[in-house]
Copies of this chain bind each other. A is one copy, B any other.
Amino acid sequence: MSEPKAILVIGAGDATGGAIARRFAREGYIACVTRRSGDKLEPLLQRIRDDGGQAHGFGSDARKEEEMISLVGKIEREIAPIEVAVFNIGANVRFDIAETTARVYFKVWEMACFSGFLMGREVAKAMLPRGRGTILFTGATASLRGREGFAAFAGAKHALRALAQSMARELWPKGIHVAHPVIDGAIDTEFIRSNFPTRYALKERQGILSPDSIADAYWQLHQQPRDAWTFETELRPWIEGW
C-alpha cells in the first residue's frame, strides 16, 4: 500500500470492533478506533502497535453530530483518507412492550441506528470525491426479525439495515461499497462469558463466533472487486439454529 489509508471503527469497545481494527492494521491500514471513553482503548491500541501496526484512539460520542463531523474531518486532515469505515455499535436490550420506556426506545435507536447514520453520511461525504471506499454496517438477527421483547433493538437494527440498503443503492454506482454483514449468533465476548456460561461453553466446539473470523469476513468484503460486490451476507456458527 503506497499511500497511507485509514480504517475508522466506530464502537471498538467490544471484541468484534477490536478484532476488525487489528485485522486491517495488519494489512497496513491505520486503525482509527472510537468508543465513548477513549482511555479504555489503550489495550487495543497497544496490541495493534505491538503487532507492528499504527493506531489512533478517540473518545467520541457517536450520537453527537458535531463530534462525528469533527472526528471524520480530523482523521481525513491529520491522519489519512478513510478508506474503510465500520459501524459496530449495538444495544441489545429486552423488555416487554408495556415495560419499554420511551427513554429506552429512543436511546437504543440513537446508539444503534442514529450514530450509524451520522457515520455513514460523514464518511460518504469524504469518499464521494474519491469515488472509492468501503462502508460496513454490522447487522444482527434482529435486523431481519422482530422477536418478542425486542421492539427497541429490532427497530434500531431494521432501520440501520434500511440505511445501509438505501446508501448502497445510491453509492455503489459512485464507487463506494456499502455492505451489511449479519452476525447471527453469540460472539465470543466477555459479556457472553459472564452472562451466558452454557452458551459460552459451546466455544470449545466452535459453537460461538470468534471475533477474528468476523474480522476476516469484513476484510474479504473490502477486498471484493467491484464486478462482484456483496451487499448482504450472514455469519453463523455451524450448530446455531435458524
Contact = CB atoms under 8 A, between A and B. Distances in A.
Nearest to A157: B162
B228 A217 contact: yes
A45 to B, nearest CB: 25
Contact of A97 (B120, B172, B214, B237): B120
Given A97-B166, A166-B97, A237-B229, A114 B125 contact: no
Interface residues of A, number: 75
Interface in A123-144: 124-125, 128, 142
Interface in A218-235: 220, 224-235
A161 interface: yes
A60 to B, nearest CB: 16
Interface of A: 65, 96-98, 100, 102, 105-106, 109, 113-114, 117-118, 120-121, 124-125, 128, 142, 145-151, 154-167, 169-173, 175, 177, 206-210, 213-214, 216-217, 220, 224-239, 241-242
